Structure 1
Amino acid sequence: MHAQPPRPRVPGSPLIRFAVVTVLTGIGAGLGGMALALLLHFLQHVAYGYSITRLIGNESFYEGVEAASAGRRIAVLAACGVIAGCGWFAIYRYGRPLVSIKKAVASDDPRMPPVTTAAHALLQIITVALGSPLGREVAPREIGSLLAGWLSHYAGLSVEQTRLMVACGAGAGLAAVYNVPFGGAIFILEVLLRSFEVRVVIPALVTSVIAAVVAWLGLGDASQYVVPHFGLSANLVTWAIVTGPVFGVAAFAFVQLTTKARAAAPKGWMLPLLSLANFLIIGLLAVSFPQILGNGKTPAQLGFSNELTIGLAGTLLVIKVAITASSLRAGAQGGLLTPGMSNGALLAIVLGGLWTLIWPGTPMGAFAIVGATAFLASSMKMPITALVLMVEFTRVDHDFLVPMLCAVAGSIAISRSLELRMQAHARSSKPGSELKGAAVSRG
């Protein structure tokens, strides 16, 4: 093992230092998430020429893209391809190796390389702003974790405390950029730390709440999605129970597709070429389907507000899945939280439309919210976080938790079953496994 560098120390007891770092991590993640979100809005407005004087206004990204000419859409996506390809090529060629948040949380030295991580985060924000179909949620999480690791090292916290702060920085960044304080905390506990002990619950809640409140300074206290009121019905609950497993199968397939695409992405000279070709194709598709541009918030919002037909939802679903996978294959980077949620909403509209032929009466938006939750829960392997995020994203009534829980349960059950079956098949396919099994049976 490598010798650890000496940790700087600052005055104060260990508990006081830990408390100060916790508060500063929340503040820093809030400011970082706010700055990245404002940068995203600024670049969107400049690229597509709308609401130049107001970063946070009433005109949505979709409205700005729809008003832009076909030539402008293609040109912006071509620029996105050049920036993405050259940017990530430079990071891989000249930067220090990237350290993921999960690796940092599990490491003996949880710090992340500052320059490479910051450049990686900025590239994600820039490309998503220009129209990349990948998510923007990884960037604020990386900035929050980067800051938390630096603060923890400076304060002389223990390795265990530093790991905790790195995880809290990631959740706080998520809370800030999406205004989901409870969702950010649950993300820390369920996904990064896999623990709900009091010693980790308190800093997770504190950092996420502080970050969300700080981000209100620039982003306001608004929900991510505006949805009409949907009432609870036996129709919707029954549909959720029946279709939950379908979302599990779809999410499992999506994860397999995107994992293989990411693994096959180039890091050498082919990256700029593939990136340019990929985003040019997306630009051409956006001439007829402006809804596909961005991380998936547009189709999700249109679905939640009953503005998509079954045919258009099915078409957008196919295109979104294809360009998400192709962008990862071409070397672009970004999250899959909003893309997964969007896929779930679009699939739900298709399934819901078929369901209404048998049992009419439920709005398409209600199906979309439940389906988005079920897909997100399985595709990101975070059932509790998905439920909390969707409630905070949409601010639906708590009664809606009933169909959401039913759909998530079925989705998680089938996706986990498929995952275990795939793992068992992989183990049995390893060289020597048959001989080993035969030896065991003879014994």
Structure 2
Amino acid sequence: MNKDLSVTQPLRWALALIFTGIVAGICGMLLALLLHFIQHIAFGYSLDAVISNESFLSGVTAATDWRRFSAIVCGGLVAGWGWWLLGRYGSQRVSISQTVNHPNKPMPLFTTAIHALLQIITVALGSPLGREVAPREAGALGAGLIANGLGLDADARKVLIACGAGAGLAAVYNVPLAGALFTLEVLLVTFRWECAVAALITSAIASGVATLGLGNEVQYHFLVGAAPASIIAWAILCGPILGAAAMLFRKLTQRARSKVKTSLQMPLFCLLSFALLGGLSVIFPQLPGNGKGPMQLALDGAMPMALFISLLILKMLVILAVLRSGAEGGLLTPGLTIGALFSLILCAVWQHLVPGGNSGSFALIGGTAFLAASMQMPLTAVALLLEFTGMDHSYLVPVILCTSGSFLMCRWLEKAKG
């Protein structure tokens, strides 16, 4: 971006930021409400309220085996036929990164809207992928339409679309700082002051608007006190290990996605992969969904070793199977959960040598580091977990050290193999 947008077109730019924040907030709120509504109907819990205190994990666990299995299989049918029909008859999809890099190449309205809705519906029905891409796409789509309506130039369109995507993330998770950092660190790859102010304004507005319908609660409850000093050594030592694991996770998920072809095999593959997930959920009700439930269990330290090892292996299996079948979704919460579960294994080994420390602390630090490396966004990952959990200030040092080691190791390995 070569111009100071607030000087060259101040009124239109201010209106664009305000409208983008409001639209992204409304879209994020509505998509989240739709997600909760479908979850409650499909699994038969909290039928009297869209937003309730009962978690998805508790609702799925309380559902009968048959209801659990059939709801997830329905998700497979929606995913397979939905994405096949969209690929066959819809316009060619333009991703957020593509339209940010080429702001005069807009995201098609119908295709993008259906793509976002399919993600929300399938995640609500138990898909192991994340829900965060849908509100990002909706926010970016809305920002593009606003930029067109206000006649903004290409530089302004690029920034506004990126801000819309970050604001969508901020809205659905109530993370205004992380949403702004995602805009700057991942989409624009710049921290110029005019971009930073724009990102902060849109994410703050979107998050505030979304809380009107979703409430102002944090995503995870982390009640552990101050971090023990010994955990800093664990963070330094295990950061590179988590980075190597994150690099493998990136490679496997990218390979699974690269093999997807829009053909009549897609409905069959989706049905089989979701049926596998449904069958496994009869024994492991923690598997359906984006991973928020297992992540909370990891933070609570409420899982025996056999369970979190099983969940780690099976969660990876179903994520790869669903991605390979052609279903779409994000990898933010799934990656965070995989990292937290893997960190519990490293925690168990560490505590044999250095007793002490709550296992939830290790899950928090390791999950953040794994997420930072797997999605290549260290600053955003730290801010996300800060806003997700309201963690004590004493965790910032081990989180930053572990995240830095993980991110650098992942980058080094990818460059060495590239």
* TM-score bracket for the superposition, by shorter chain length: over 0.9
In the other structure, the counterpart of 1:166 is: 161
Deviates more, 1:175-184 or 1:71-80: 71-80
User: Which of 41, 57, 62 pairs up with 1:46?
Assistant: 41
Within the alignment, does 1:90 sit opposite 2:85 as a pair? yes
In the other structure, the counterpart of 2:139 is: 144
What residue identity is the alignment partner of 1:317?
L
Q: Shift of residue 25 of structure 1?
A: 0.2
What residue identity is the alignment partner of 1:71?
W
Q: Distance in 2 between matches of 1:337 and 1:230?
A: 26
TM-score between the two structures when normalised by the length of structure 1:
0.92
In the other structure, the counterpart of 2:391 is: 396
In the other structure, the counterpart of 2:259 is: 264
1:110-259 aligned within 5 A: 110-259=105-254
Q: Distance in 2 between matches of 1:163 and 1:169?
A: 10
Deviates more, 1:357-366 or 1:175-184: 357-366
What residue identity is the alignment partner of 2:352?
L
Q: Distance in 2 between matches of 1:41 and 1:148?
A: 25
Q: Contact 1:110–1:163 at 8 Å: present in 2 too?
A: no
Q: Contact 1:77–1:280 at 8 Å: present in 2 too?
A: yes
Q: Shift of residue 231 of structure 1?
A: 1.6
In the other structure, the counterpart of 1:406 is: 401
In the other structure, the counterpart of 2:291 is: 296
Q: Shift of residue 108 of structure 1?
A: 4.3
In the other structure, the counterpart of 2:363 is: 368
List 4+ stretches of structure 1 deviating above 2 A: none
Q: Contact 2:166–2:179 at 8 Å: present in 1 too?
A: yes
Q: Distance in 1 between matches of 2:96 and 2:103?
A: 13
The SS at the match of 1:357 is helix
User: Which of 103, 107, 112 pairs up with 2:102?
Assistant: 107
User: Which of 294, 304, 308 pairs up with 1:309?
Assistant: 304
In the other structure, the counterpart of 1:331 is: 326
Distance 1:110-1:180 versus aligned 2 partners, 3 A rule: farther
The SS at the match of 1:301 is helix
Q: Shift of residue 410 of structure 1?
A: 1.1
Deviates more, 1:83-92 or 1:352-361: 352-361
User: Which of 57, 64, 70 pairs up with 1:62?
Assistant: 57
Q: Shift of residue 199 of structure 1?
A: 1.2
Q: Contact 1:110–1:162 at 8 Å: present in 2 too?
A: no
In the other structure, the counterpart of 1:351 is: 346
What residue identity is the alignment partner of 1:410?
G
Q: Distance in 2 between matches of 1:365 and 1:310?
A: 13
Q: Shift of residue 111 of structure 1?
A: 2.0
Q: Contact 2:28–2:168 at 8 Å: present in 1 too?
A: yes
List per-residue Cα deviations over 1:129-160 (Å, max 9, x = no partner). 00000000000000000000001011100011
The SS at the match of 1:290 is coil
In the other structure, the counterpart of 2:414 is: 419
TM-score between the two structures when normalised by the length of structure 2:
0.97
Give the share of equivalent positions with the same residue, in percent. Answer: 48
What residue identity is the alignment partner of 2:13?
F
- Structure ID, larger Rg: 1
Q: Contact 1:266–1:329 at 8 Å: present in 2 too?
A: no
What residue identity is the alignment partner of 1:220?
G
Q: Distance in 2 between matches of 1:108 and 1:119?
A: 21
Q: Distance in 1 between matches of 2:237 and 2:9?
A: 52
What residue identity is the alignment partner of 2:238?
T
Query: Which consecutive unaligned segments of at least 5 residues does structure 1 have?
Result: 1-12, 424-443
The SS at the match of 1:191 is helix
What residue identity is the alignment partner of 1:267?
T
The SS at the match of 1:222 is coil
In the other structure, the counterpart of 1:433 is: none
The SS at the match of 2:286 is helix
**CA RMSD between the two structures:** 0.9
Q: Distance in 1 between matches of 2:59 and 2:369?
A: 30
Q: Shift of residue 413 of structure 1?
A: 1.6
Deviates more, 1:347-356 or 1:169-178: 347-356
Q: Shift of residue 308 of structure 1?
A: 1.3
Q: Shift of residue 234 of structure 1?
A: 2.1
Q: Shift of residue 74 of structure 1?
A: 1.0
Q: Distance in 2 between matches of 1:50 and 1:232?
A: 36
What residue identity is the alignment partner of 1:36?
L
What residue identity is the alignment partner of 1:391?
L
Q: Distance in 2 between matches of 1:230 and 1:330?
A: 43
In the other structure, the counterpart of 2:16 is: 21
Q: Distance in 2 between matches of 1:280 and 1:346?
A: 24
